[in-house]
Copies of this chain bind each other. A is one copy, B any other.
């Protein structure tokens, strides 16, 4: 079968470009802030944080994709969120409250990450009020996105939820295993498979 071409937007987003979209840091501030992030490359399917760990780092995803997931009562992996290029990623509760993480964080592709520890970012929060603003704005954005997902999950049919997925994560939807998406959307992979089949026939 001839494949459908899926757009590959946003292959890369530098952390400084991203920070500047939220808050107008000066060159000096930005340099100081960035000096506390550590660049690392991580290969595909690596678990960065396990359920029960304290999540010690906040990550910025310059390249690649990742997900958070947890194990439900039957031990099945439930994808909780996808992270794409140009996004912050962490197990938020665990990182900010320094409590055991409820989630795993796992790369889904080879990734280039910038990481920062809790103590370092707290130091930056104290040093720069603009960093508090950044934190607030980033959190507010996440809140909005989660509310969107909630509305999709709560009131839409399985097919409509898949359409939400395509809209929210266009880069990711065609590049990760079906089962990850199905559990993210709260349906079985059999159901998602049937939806995809019907969509492609239309």
Q: Mark A124-147, 1 if CB is under 8 A from B, else 0.
A: 011001001101100110111011
CB pair A186–B155 under 8 Å, yes or no, is: yes
Q: Does A78 have its Cβ within 8 Å of any Cβ on chain B?
A: yes
CB distance from A190 to the nearest CB of B (A): 17
CB pair A143–B142 under 8 Å, yes or no, is: yes
Contact residue among B72, B136, B142, B150 (Cβ-Cβ distance under 8 Å from A149):
B150
CB pair B72–A140 under 8 Å, yes or no, is: no
CB pair B153–A154 under 8 Å, yes or no, is: yes
A interface, size bucket = 20 to 34
CB pair A92–B143 under 8 Å, yes or no, is: yes
CB pair A144–B93 under 8 Å, yes or no, is: yes
Expressed in whole angstroms, the Cα–Cα distance for A125 and B136 within the complex equals 11
CB nearest to A78 among chain B residues: B155
CB distance from A60 to the nearest CB of B (A): 17
Residues of B within 8 A of A132 (CB): 129, 132-133, 135-136
Interface residues of A (CB under 8 A from B): 72, 78, 80, 92-93, 96, 125-126, 129, 132-133, 135-136, 139-140, 142-144, 146-147, 149-151, 153-155, 186
A selection of 27 A-B contacts at a CB cut-off of 8 Å is A72-B155, A78-B155, A80-B147, A80-B151, A92-B140, A92-B143, A92-B144, A93-B144, A96-B140, A126-B129, A129-B129, A129-B132, A132-B132, A132-B133, A132-B136, A135-B136, A136-B136, A139-B139, A142-B143, A143-B143, A143-B146, A146-B147, A149-B150, A150-B150, A153-B154, A154-B186, A155-B186
